[in-house]
Structure 1
Amino acid sequence: MDYSFDFHAISQHGAPLLKGLVTTVQLTLAANVVGLTLGFGIALLLLSRWAALRTPAMLFVEFFRCTPAIVQVIWIFYCVPILFDVYFDALTMGVLALGLNLAAFNAEAYRAAIQTVPREQLDAGIALGLNPLQRILHIVLPSAVRTSIPVLITNGIGTFQQSALVALVAVEDLMYVGKSLATETYRPIETFTVIALVYFAVSFPVSQLVEYLQRRRGPVAH
């Protein structure tokens, strides 16, 4: 291979890369807030006894689980403004796209965890006079979160990695900055190697945390 590696050009652009990484982290954290909160609500609907509530939730989950994330991102960016006359900045649209995708996967994790909540705990809540909402907040939610934490963290890592897709719609995240830098410096190998290492450096410690939690808690619901 007749190629001379030169990472010096990349090291001179550390500030833009760092800014892109900050955008990626902000996007990931915001999407996780959406995915964690909305996912729990959808999980409750999936377990509803009423088909009018259960069916739309099931369709939502299956749509986002069974279509490519890149199609979802592009559709939300370009179709939502046209169909619903709703316009947000690019970062907000990225949060919406990734958050909805994550909510679908988190909903399944929550649903499986909720089904493991012992019936005795719910009966105790009824005996204490807790209404349905109080039972959800004080019994179901804490137990479901504890059980599903490893899966939720794993899903969160996936969202961090999938956030690179928003570069296609001009969100100035780490991947977008990397693409611009590769074009500017004519060093695509060095640039995308650095980008890959940054994603790895963030994801690997979190994946080790998941493995640690799984060893501590034993098998988790999927």
Structure 2
Amino acid sequence: MNYTFDFSSIAIGPLLDGLFVTIQLTLAANVIGIVAGFVLALLLMSPFAIVRVPFMLFVEFFRCTPAIIQVVWFFYCVPMLLDVFLDPLMMGILALGLNLTAFNAEAYRASIQGVPREQRDAGIALGLNPLQRIRYIILPTAFRESIPVLLTNGIGIFQQSALVAIVAIQDLMYEGKTLATATYRPIETFTVVALIYFAVSFPVSQVVGLIERRRALAAA
């Protein structure tokens, strides 16, 4: 191979600007996913089919279709069908946030089902109404038990945020593509981009592993 690597031509500034946009997308999507995911989990557990079924279809749609299709659909179909025009960054946040909501809802639902019956009965005995039981008993327990999955899903949405580059949001991937085209150095550029994604994702994955190991030790 006669290719000569030259990383000196890779400008870090634009990539860091793109990383800032990517982090904005990720944090906002996670806020939506964490909050709306819990509400959705409660709706999925409704005893009434008329409430439960539409939200089950919502979850299955986001779980069973490619994320890239969801991003494109939001950017091109929502404005045409609903006559709603939002800032591209906001559209990206909504697309990623709703995707994350569907996956987090399943994590919450499993955790809610794992809340000990004794805790629920204690809430009833104390005279707490249903909303108070959700707030003071179910939510704290379910959130605590779901943390490893929520963090893992958060890493996943950070990586999937690269898909918004196809609709010209200037995230890390978009800036990487632009830089690779301008410098004719795709190998070096996308190597640096990959390392940036890794540098952000790896510490979070280690936190997830640490939490799971501590839980395993506590349960032993």
Q: Which digits, 9 at most, give the CA deviation of each residue in 1:13-64, with x for residues without a partner?
A: 2211111101100110000001111111110011110001110111011110
TM-superposed CA distance for 1:127, in Å, is 1.2
**Partner of residue 8, structure 1:** 8
What are the within-5 Å matches in structure 2 for residues 62-101 of structure 1?
62-101=60-99
Give the residue type in structure 1 aligned to 2:162: A
- 1:213 & 1:108 partners in 2: Cα distance? 20
Alignment partners' CA distance in 1, 2:5 and 2:88 = 34
Aligned to 2:33: 35
The corresponding residue for 1:115 is 113
- TM-score, reference length from structure 2: 0.97
SS of 1:218's equivalent? helix
Shift of residue 172 of structure 1? 0.4
Q: Could you list the per-position Cα deviations for residues 139-194 of structure 1 after superposition, in whole angstroms to 9, with x for gaps in the alignment?
A: 00000001010000000000000000000001100000000000000100000000
Tell me the distance in 2 between the aligned counterparts of 1:79 and 1:51: 29
Quick one: distance in 1 between partners of 2:15 and 2:79?
Answer: 30
In 2, Cα distance between equivalents of 1:81 and 1:217: 46
Which letter maps to 2:3? Y
Q: Sequence identity, in percent?
A: 72
> Displacement of 1:218 after TM fit?
2.8
Structure 2 gap ranges (5+): none
* Cα distance in 1 between the residues matched to 2:79 and 2:141: 39
Q: State the 1:129 CA deviation.
A: 1.2
1:132 and 1:148 mapped to 2: Cα distance? 21
SS of match in other structure, 1:4: coil
Aligned pair count? 217
Superposed, 1:136-175 pairs within 5 Å as: 136-175=134-173
Deviation at 1:96, TM superposition (A): 0.3
C-alpha distance in 2, partners of 1:101/1:20?
Answer: 22
Distance 1:65 1:196 in 2: 25
Distance 2:135 2:195 in 1: 40
Q: Secondary structure at the match of 1:105?
A: helix
For residues 34 and 184 of structure 1, what CA distance do their matches in structure 2 show? 36
CA distance in 1: counterparts of 2:59 and 2:216, whole angstroms: 27
C-alpha RMSD of the superposition: 0.9
CA distance in 1, matches of 2:75, 2:129: 41
**Alpha-carbon distance, 1:137 to partner:** 0.8
**Runs of 4+ more than 2 Å apart:** none
